Amino acid sequence: MTEKDTQSDRSGDESRMPPAALLYAADEILHMYDSVPFIICLLDSERRIISGNRQFREVTGWPESPVFLSDKACGILGCIHSLDDVRGCGFGAHCASCPLRRALLDTFETAARHSDIEYRTSLLLNGTRRDVVLLGSTARIETPGKQMVLLSLVDITERKLAEEALFERERLLNEIFEHGGVGVAHWDLDGRLLMLNQKACNNLGGGDPQQYLGSTMIEMFGNEAGMSYLERIKKTVESPEALEFEDRVELPIGIRWFHSVHTRVRDAEGRVTGVHIYANDITDLKQTEESLQQSKHMYDTLVSKITVGIYILRSTPEGSYTLDYVSPRMSELVNCSIESLLANPQNFFVNFHPDDRAGFVALNQEGISLLRPFDWKGRILVDGTVRWLHIESSPETQMDGDVLWHGVVADITESKQMEDALRVSENLLRDAQTVAGLGTYSLDIATGRWNSSDILDDIFGFDKKLDRSLSEWESILHPEDREMMTNYLSDEVLGKLMPFNREYRIIREVDGRTVWVHGMGRLEINEQDQPVRLIGTIQDITERKLVEGNLKKRDAEIEQFIYTVSHDLRSPLVTVKTFLGYLENDVNDGDRERISQDLQFIHGASDKMKELLDELLELSRIDRQENTPVRVSFRELLSEVCGALAGDIDQHRIDMTLPDNDLELFGDRARLCQIWQNLIENAIKYRGDDRIPSIELGFRHDTGGVTFYVKDNGIGIDPSYHTKIFGVFEKLNQKSAGVGLGLSMIQRIVEKYDGRIWVESVGQGQGSCFSFTLPRAISHDSTREQMPA
Amino acid sequence: MNGQALTILLVEDNPDHAVLVMRSLGDFKVANRILHVEDGQAALDYLSGNGPYADRMTYPLPNLILLDLRLPKIDGLEVLREIKANAGLKPIPVVVLTTSDAEQDLTKAYEFGANSFLTKPIDFLEFTSLMRDLGFYWLAWNKQPW
């Protein structure tokens, strides 16, 4: 035992040494403890170290280093009293307060034979100073006449650290348990609540957690819910994994939603003893989620209900693009599934009509590169039928440079079809209006503004424009109709709310032409019985009015004709009948002279009647019979007439003047001849006796066209008779030959060629000049005068 | 009936009818003189004493005018209108004696102041009795202001 030897060698003070036997015994005992991991030493009653195990020797350097224990200081563990000495117990100058020293002294001096202390200090172990926690135990060993104290020191630093860590963890757990925001409840296998934290208590309705302890699930949640929760506990017990649930729970505080995690609780032996339920009140979340769900549902419903498809297309600055969103309706419209559209945006237009696809792609690219809103109408083929789509989208540039195109796709097939049908019917209407010369207008009563259709502009001779004022209408009214029409509009139509229905004249500003129109219109009346709009039509009825006018004239002529004829045919009848009566008397009287006179009158009247009837027949032929029109030279016509009248002309030595220039006429040759023939006959018949009769034939170009004339130097006609002479059976001289139908006939023929005839004569003995026009006999290409050869 | 010579002015363009009227009236000897003109202008000239009719001894103002309506130059209605528009001529009864029975003539004639309107009958007996009655009525029974 080297330690014992060494110790013996170094113990210079024999009197303080313990008895050898004791020492030996102590040594023996302590040696036994060399291998234990704590420090043990033995002090004698003199408070001297008499023995120590290996750990003690290592820590203190005993027996080489002095170890002492006194009232003032304790050197047992090499306590340091100066900072220069690195060894020491760590109490330094405060050695007096060293708990180990106190404990040792107490053990020596008091009745207590044993004490345990735990204290912190610093130790140099294996050359390294470290903070340690030591557990010191002292035990006073009483032997007869002797007492010793056994000191053992155990380094409990590790244990202490572990304890502290455990404590901290427990504290944290507790913190979490109480304040973690999760309700924690511990249930036993029968569904009885053993423990719950504040949060769980709050979940259940608040108050003191204690009140819930010991309650069963059925007591707390009712039979039905309680049973189902019990069922869960059983499941949890069997499940190695935690189970999650979401519940709608009816509590006295109202309906709450909880998310809960169930875990089984096992004891040290692994037996399941209960279940932990961690519950989170997710009512708010649930409500938010529910309203979110609701609005999402509404949005989905909306998107699925609306007839247009919706998409979001993302284009990048690099030029690539993808579809971010496609609504179901959009997928339907472009006849391509949502998945394939999202996978490949090219599928967007895969079904487009081949004729329209390229245009769409080009427009799309242009839109993307110029960031211009996109608007396209085109066709798509869906199961072989053509549908029309209208696609619109507008760009929205994102922070990252991408552009989102919010697009809308609409099926416009029906509106397109209607549009087409409308266009067709509009065209029809326009054509019909054009053909009928029917213009339309719409007048806003309040403003007096109106608009006119193209055809109405044509009728009124207006420039094309949309907006007009009422004064524009008033200004073109014929002066004779203006007052009547403005009064009619204001008093009758607007005043009495009557439909507009009037025929009136306008004078076109553009060419000064007078046009007859028939205006019709319907008033639109509001709830207050106030006229709002006048919508109507204007028809050009000039032609009709002309015909009407001609018809009236014709009617008058016919009436006059019948009157004249009945009078003039009746006259000879009166003569015949009356003289027949006289004849009878005269025969009875045997008055031969009067008989012959009577018969003469009767013959004369009968001849007159025949003549009248023949002439009337001739006149009626003008209207009834017409030969095929032919082209004939004017001079040729005249020479034919003169040939027929050659006898009379020669007999009366008429000086005939024929025109130098020629003209081509187109018409019924015989009738045209009749004009000149009758006029020349008249000129011969009414020649003057006191001069050489002359007749001049010719034509001249007037503003109205070609005017023909037959001029004589005969007896002339008093200006007051210039109209009367053209009447049926009119004769200025009762004794002259004929029945008075010649000029009537000429007039009829002239009128058939849309011409007119008139006479110029200063009066008796001044000669006459009959002039007339024949517009329809003058062909357009013949108006150019042909010069004589 | 007074002793004054009674004169009738016949305005008639149809010579046959003129003969008929004169013969019928002559047969009943109701008038001393029947003067005949053939057209409206001549009638107005006669009544105004113009031109050839200036001598009132030969061409006195008539007691009755028999007026045909269809006349050359100036027609009967116009002649009537002018007679009745002339204060001196207005009192002379004008009997329209016409072939036609047209409504328009009848209306116009009375409008212009005709005193009577007669249509020449086609029947001989009717014609002659009309002429007789006409003559007696206007020249014998009818009272005149002069």
Q: Which helix (H) or strand (E) element contains residue A115? A: strand A114-125
Buried b (16+ CB within 10 A) or exposed e, A219-229: ebbeeebbeeb
Residue in chain A closest to B128 (alpha carbons) equals: A578
By C-alpha distance, the chain B residue nearest A725 is B73
By Cβ distance, the residue of A570, A575, A577 closest to B100 is A570
How does the average pLDDT of chain A come out, rounded? 81
Read off the pLDDT band of B9 (50, 70, 90): very high
Return the pLDDT at A709: 93
> Between B72, B127, B128, which is nearest A734 by CB?
B72
Structure token digits, residue A479: 């002066």
- Cβ contact A566–B102 (<8 Å): yes
User: How many pairs of residues across A and B have Cβ atoms under 8 Å apart?
Assistant: 73
From chain A, pick out residues whose CB is under 8 angstroms from the CB of B102.
563, 566-567
Query: Does pLDDT of B4 surpass 80?
Result: no
Which residue from A561, A730, A747, A760 is spatially nearest to B73, judged by alpha carbons?
A: A730
CA dihedral angle for residue A704, residue A710, residue A715, residue A716, rounded to 10 degrees: -10
Is the per-residue pLDDT at A182 higher than 60?
Answer: yes
**Residue in A345, A331, A517 with CA at minimum distance from that of residue A440:** A517
Among the partner-chain residues B16, B72, B123, the one whose CB lies closest to the CB of A732 is B72
Contact B124 A581 (CB under 8 A): yes
Give the gap in angstroms from C-alpha A761 to the nearest C-alpha of chain B: 15
pLDDT band for position A8 (cuts 50, 70, 90):
very low
Q: For residues A711 and A280, which has the higher predicted lDDT (pLDDT)?
A: A711
Contact A574 B125 (CB under 8 A): no
Q: Which two tokens stand for residue A192?
A: 């009885």
Question: Tell me, what's the pLDDT at A587?
Answer: 92
Q: B57 falls in which pLDDT band (50, 70, 90)?
A: confident
- Tokens linked to A657: 């003047």
What is the distance in angstroms between the CA of the first residue and the CA of the last residue of chain A? 181
Q: What's the CA gap between A429 and A435, in Å, rounded?
A: 10
* Rounded average pLDDT over A512-535: 89
What kind and span of H or E run contains A133? strand A128-143
Amino acid code (one letter) for A557: E
In the predicted structure, residue A112 carries a pLDDT above the cut 70: yes
* A391/A9: higher pLDDT: A391
Q: Which residue's entry shows tokens 């403890």?
A: A33
pLDDT at A87: 44
Contact A567 B98 (CB under 8 A): yes
Whether B120 sits inside 8 A of A584 (CB atoms) is: no
Q: Using CB atoms within 10 A of its CB, is residue A601 exposed (0-12), middle (13-18) or buried (19+)?
A: buried
CA distance B48 to A181: 142
Nearest to A698 by CA among A663, A735, A672: A663
Cα–chain-centroid distance for residue A372? 17
pLDDT, residue B36, reads 92
Residues 6+ apart with CB under 8 A from A587: A595
- The rounded mean pLDDT for chain B is 87
Q: Which chain A residues have a beta carbon less than 8 Å from that of B119?
A: none
B132 touches chain A (CB under 8 A): no
Residue A134 has pLDDT above 90, yes or no: no
Instruction: Give me B76's structure tokens.
Output: 């009967």
Alpha-carbon gap: A654 to the closest alpha carbon of chain B (Å): 28
Select from A571, A582, A601 the Cβ nearest to the Cβ of B99.
A571
Model confidence at A19, in pLDDT bands (50, 70, 90)? low
Asked if B113 has any chain A CB less than 8 Å from its own CB, the reply is: no
Which residues of B are less than 8 Å from A574 in CB distance? 17, 20, 99, 120-122, 127
Q: Is the pLDDT confidence value at A55 over 90?
A: no
Strand order in the sheet with A183-188: A193-196, A183-188, A272-281, A254-266, A243-251
Q: Which range (A429-443, A532-546, A631-645) has the least confidence?
A: A429-443
Residue with the two structure tokens 């009795």: B129
Least reliable range by pLDDT among A123-132, A487-496, A582-591, B94-103: A123-132
Q: Does position A784 have pLDDT exceeding 60, yes or no?
A: no
Interchain CB distance below 8 Å, B20 and A579? yes
pLDDT over threshold 80, residue A24: no
A383: its two tokens? 């199961």
CB under 8 A, 24+ apart: contacts of A356-363: A356/A380, A360/A391
- The arithmetic mean of pLDDT across residues A596-615, rounded, is 88
- For B121, the closest chain A residue by CA position comes to A574
Q: What is the pLDDT of residue A517?
A: 92
Q: Using a CB–CB cutoff of 8 Å, tell me whether B57 touches chain A.
A: no
- pLDDT at A748 (0 to 100): 86
Query: According to the model, what pLDDT value does residue A74 have?
Result: 54
3-state SS class at A207: coil
- The tens digit of pLDDT for each residue in A113-130 reads 788 888 777 666 666 667
Torsion angle, alpha carbons of A480, A486, A487, A491, to 10: 160
Amino acid A437: pLDDT: 76
Residue B75 scores a pLDDT above 70: yes
pLDDT tens by residue, A697-746: 999 988 778 999 999 998 888 888 888 788 777 777 666 666 677 888 89
A567/B102 Cβ within 8 A: yes
Give every CB contact of residue B134 below 8 A, 6+ residues apart in sequence: B25, B66, B95, B118
Q: Which residue in this structure is represented by tokens 């030493």?
A: A41
**Token pair for residue A411?**
């099926």
pLDDT at A634 > cutoff 80: yes
- Per-range mean pLDDT, top range of A6-20, A656-670, A731-745: A656-670
Query: For position A373, what pLDDT does the model report?
Result: 87
Q: Rounded to the nearest 10 degrees, what angle do helices B124-135 and A542-589 cross at?
A: 90
Local confidence band at A11 (pLDDT 50, 70, 90 cut-offs): very low
> Across residues A470-485, what is the average pLDDT?
91
In A, which residues are within 8 Å of B104 by CB distance?
563
pLDDT digits (tens, 9 = 90+) for A399-423: 888 888 888 888 888 888 888 888 8
Nearest CB to A721 within list B70, B73, B104: B73
What Rg, from alpha-carbon coordinates, does chain A have? 71
pLDDT for residue B114: 93
Higher pLDDT: A36 or A354? It is A354
| Residues in contact with A100: Cβ distance below 8 Å, sequence separation at least 6, in sequence order | A74, A76, A77, A89, A117, A119, A121, A134, A136, A151, A153
Is the pLDDT assigned to residue A30 strictly greater than 80? no
B51 touches chain A (CB under 8 A): no
Q: Per CATH, is B7-139 categorized as 3.40.50.2300?
A: yes
Nearest alpha-carbon partner for A516 in A437, A426, A408? A437
What three-state secondary structure class fits A256?
strand
3-class state of residue A152 by DSSP: strand
> What is residue B82's predicted lDDT score, i.e. its pLDDT?
93
Report, as an integer, the average pLDDT of A608-634: 83
For position B146, what pLDDT does the model report?
60
Query: Are β-strands B33-37 and B64-67 bridged in parallel, bridged antiparallel, or unpaired?
Result: unpaired
HEC-encoded secondary structure of A502-560 = EEEEEECCCCCCEEEEEEEEEEEECCCCCEEEEEEEEEECHHHHHHHHHHHHHHHHHHH
Please answer yes or no on whether B73 and A604 come within 8 Å at the CB atom. Answer: no
Chain B residue numbers touching A593 (CB-CB < 8 A): none
Whole-angstrom Cα distance, residue A202 to residue A183? 8
- Residue A285 confidence (pLDDT): 81
Residue A2 has pLDDT above 50, yes or no: no
Please enumerate, as own/partner, the contacts of A598-607 that have beta carbons within 8 Å and a separation of 24 or more.
Answer: A601/A575, A601/B16, A601/B19, A602/A575, A602/A576, A604/A575, A604/B16, A605/A571, A605/A572, A605/A573, A605/A575, A605/A576, A605/A579, A605/B16, A606/A572, A606/A576
Alpha-carbon dihedral angle through residues A151, A155, A159, A163, given to the nearest 10 degrees: 70
- Residue range A614-620: mean pLDDT, rounded: 81
Across the interface, whether the CB atoms of A572 and B16 are under 8 A apart is answered yes
Of residues A200, A198, A237, the one with CA closest to residue A220: A200
Query: What single letter denotes the amino acid at residue A374?
Result: F
Cβ contact, residue pair B70, A568, below 8 Å = yes
Closest CA to A53 of A150, A158, A159: A150
Q: Which residue of B has its CA nearest to A581?
A: B124
Q: What is the rounded CA–CA span in Å between residue A609 and residue A617?
A: 12
In the block, residue with structure tokens 């200081």: A73
Question: Exposed, middle or buried by CB within 10 Å (0-12, 13-18, 19+), for A708?
Answer: buried
Where are the domains positioned within chain B? 7-139
Tokens of A386: 């053509």
Highest mean pLDDT among A390-399, A560-569, B54-63, B77-86: B77-86
CB pair distance less than 8 Å for B128 and A581 = yes
Which chain B residues contact residue A734 at CB under 8 A? 13-15, 38-39, 72
Percent over 90 (pLDDT), chain A: 11
Confidence bin at A782 (pLDDT 50/70/90) = very low
Q: In the predicted model, is pLDDT for residue B78 greater than 50?
A: yes
pLDDT in tens, A738-772: 667 788 889 888 988 888 899 988 877 788 999 99
Res A644: pLDDT: 87
Mean pLDDT across A29-55: 76
CA distance A109 to A115: 12
Query: Does the beta-carbon distance from B122 to A574 stay under 8 Å?
Result: yes
Contact A683, A714 (CB under 8 A): yes
More confident residue, A638 or A784: A638
Contact B144, B115 (CB under 8 A): no
What distances in angstroms separate CA A26 from CA A16, A40, B2, B21, one per listed residue?
16, 11, 216, 206
Mutation target vs B (from A574, A586, A588, A596; most B CBs, 10 A cutoff)? A574
| CB within 8 Å: A577 and B17 | no
Domains of chain A: 2-162 (3.30.450.20), 181-287 (3.30.450.20), 306-411 (3.30.450.20), 424-538 (3.30.450.20), 546-621 (1.10.287.130), 628-782 (3.30.565.10)
**B17·A574 Cβ contact <8 A:** yes
Residues of B whose CB is below 8 A from A601: 16, 19
Segment A13-23 mean pLDDT? 52
Cα(B118)–Cα(B65) distance, integer angstroms: 13
Q: Is B128 helix (H, G, I), strand (E, B) or coil?
A: helix
What lies within 8 Å, CB to CB, of A740 at 6+ separation is A727, A728, A729, A730, A731
Cα–Cα distance between B74 and B81 in angstroms, integer?
11
Residue A14's pLDDT is 44
